[in-house]
Copies of this chain bind each other. A is one copy, B any other.
């Protein structure tokens, strides 16, 4: 519950590792980027953090618990990213979509876990709250359009926007898009694709 970051963290290894929970989540990102969520092993994370094989269970209960925390972290980062983009771009839905893709590419490991509910505890309260935050950020992007749709049309627009950016991100991460066809810059490619759906007002 408290942050036990003493001066020891600078010198030797902090006591009882000091911040194992964070270290494990960080190691998980690296491991998932290397081998995907299916190849993740709690024992491998423990080795990366330099602790015994059973240490992770204390912080997360089980493997799904760790991935629940990992997904929650992802949804929070996504919500923050979208909020910041909306601020900086003046409410452009195009830029919001590009921000979504940017998040997926830069936080590939998180993104790959976030939408795979069989990997984590989908009824976790913190997770649901983070999901709501991210969802609200997306909705605000649609609601803030100059010619903002209302009612069912708004929901449809939101879902269409979400679908196209989510689909592009997923296809990109899955390696389904040949570099010689879409280039090697995911943001530029995303901008062209999303532009096919919405003309940028900003």
Q: Does A14 contact B (CB under 8 A)?
A: no
Complex Cα distance A157/B196, Å? 7
Question: Is A38 in the interface zone, CB < 8 Å from B?
Answer: yes
Q: For the complex, is A39 an interface residue (Cβ under 8 Å from B)?
A: yes
Interfacial chain B residues near A156, Cβ < 8 Å: 192-193, 196
Q: Let me know if B163 and A168 touch, CB within 8 A.
A: yes
Q: How many copies does the complex hold?
A: 2
A155-B182, A167-B168, A197-B197 given; 13 more Cβ-contact pairs under 8 Å = A38-B38, A39-B118, A115-B170, A159-B182, A160-B164, A163-B163, A163-B167, A163-B168, A163-B193, A164-B164, A165-B167, A166-B167, A167-B167
17 A–B contact pairs at CB < 8 A? A36-B119, A37-B38, A38-B116, A39-B118, A115-B174, A115-B176, A117-B175, A155-B182, A159-B177, A159-B182, A160-B164, A163-B163, A163-B171, A164-B167, A166-B167, A170-B170, A197-B197
